[in-house]
Amino acid sequence: MSADPRVSIHPDSSVLLAAIAARLITKLVDTQDRYGEATIVLTGGTMGIGTLRAVADSPACRAVDWSKVNVWWGDERFVEADSSDRNTVQAEEALLGRLPLDPARVHRPGAAGDFATADDAAADYARRLAEAASAEHESELPGGVRGVPRFDVLLLGVGPDAHVASLFPEMAGIRETERTVVGVENAPKPPPARISLTLPAIKSADEVWMLVAGEDKAGAVGLALAGAGAVHVPAAGARGRTRTLWLIDAAAAAKVPQELVRKEPASA
């Protein structure tokens, strides 16, 4: 079971980032009120890291009990641990390094130097996800796949080719139906070696938020929201169990079917 997409359009990327930050802070606070903790899956790229900077700049950032936030990543570049290409390094600089996080709750994917191959790092990340799921509850993913903890909100950017995380059109990773994490080689976008959550793992999240800005993304957004197949348009397959929310700017919305557009307050 997954939620149909809802679309919220903002006039430009700066307004969009501020709105996403406000939503995210509210989501984390509300989730902690309900469960005592909250789990977020981060993404990289311009919008993903921009969102973290906007959270850091928000006075409401302190409303979250960051010591009880669990942090995972949707994908990572398989390079050295201190490389500026790493989503984890960029996230640390943008936000995480400023917060009183519990180190045991921050789950960074493995890096080159720690593992021989991207597949090895992917297997390690899958093992850690499964351990967290076992400690919390045994989540069952679409198709009967097990092995992830509760993801309260999972953030994704979208590439001009409609890739999400490191799941690229027509490559093996987007076709995966059983594993929760895959290694990626020969990615069409550098660096070529990566690890990524699979669509079944992504679709286990309570909420999936797609963060997209820019005219160069309009075609990918339009195809995804028109119902294209996920193998060719990976963004079309990324849906949350209770909410699938596209947070986009006006430029990225140029080809969105108008019947899908719903205005809603930033705190919804």
State the average pLDDT for the chain. Answer: 93
CA dihedral 22, 26, 27, 33 (to 10 degrees): 170
Of 2-6, 133-137, 205-209, 261-265, least confident by mean pLDDT is 261-265
- Per the structure block, which two tokens stand in for 103? 């180190």
Identify whether 264 is part of a domain: no
Check whether 262 has a pLDDT greater than 90: no
| Res 138: pLDDT | 54
| Res 267: pLDDT | 41
CATH for 192: 3.40.50.1360
Q: How many structural domains is the chain composed of?
A: 1
Structural domain boundaries, residue 184: 5-258
Check whether 18 has a pLDDT greater than 80: yes
Identify whether 168 is part of a domain: yes
Residues written for the chain: 268
Identify whether 172 is part of a domain: yes
What pTM did the predictor assign?
0.93
Check whether 136 has a pLDDT greater than 60: yes
| Res 257: pLDDT | 75
- Per the structure block, which two tokens stand in for 11? 């006039």
Contacts 24+ apart (CB under 8 A), 1-4: 1/241, 2/142, 2/203, 2/239, 2/240, 2/241, 2/244, 3/239, 3/240, 3/241, 3/242, 3/243, 3/244, 4/239, 4/244
| Res 2: pLDDT | 77
- At residue 109's C-alpha, the angle toward residues 117 and 52, to 5°, is 140
Show Cβ contacts of residue 47 under 8 Å, excluding neighbours closer than 6 positions: 13, 16, 17, 20, 157, 211, 212, 213
Give residue 142's pLDDT band: very low, low, confident or very high (50, 70, 90): low
Report which of 204, 142, 201, 139 is spatially closest to residue 166, judged by C-alpha positions.
201
Identify whether 229 is part of a domain: yes
Identify whether 88 is part of a domain: yes
Per-residue pLDDT reduced to its tens digit, 19-50 = 999 999 999 999 999 999 999 999 999 999 99
Mean pLDDT calculated for residue range 196-221: 97
Give residue 139's pLDDT band: very low, low, confident or very high (50, 70, 90): low
Task: Name the pairing type of β-strands 5-10 and 243-249.
Answer: parallel
User: In Å, what is the CA distance from 240 to each residue of 114, 140, 200?
Assistant: 32, 14, 10
Task: Give percent above pLDDT 70 in the chain.
Answer: 93
Identify whether 263 is part of a domain: no
Task: Give percent above pLDDT 90 in the chain.
Answer: 88
Per-residue pLDDT reduced to its tens digit, 49-93 = 999 999 999 999 999 999 999 999 999 999 999 999 999 999 999
Check whether 264 has a pLDDT greater than 50: no
Identify whether 98 is part of a domain: yes
Identify whether 265 is part of a domain: no
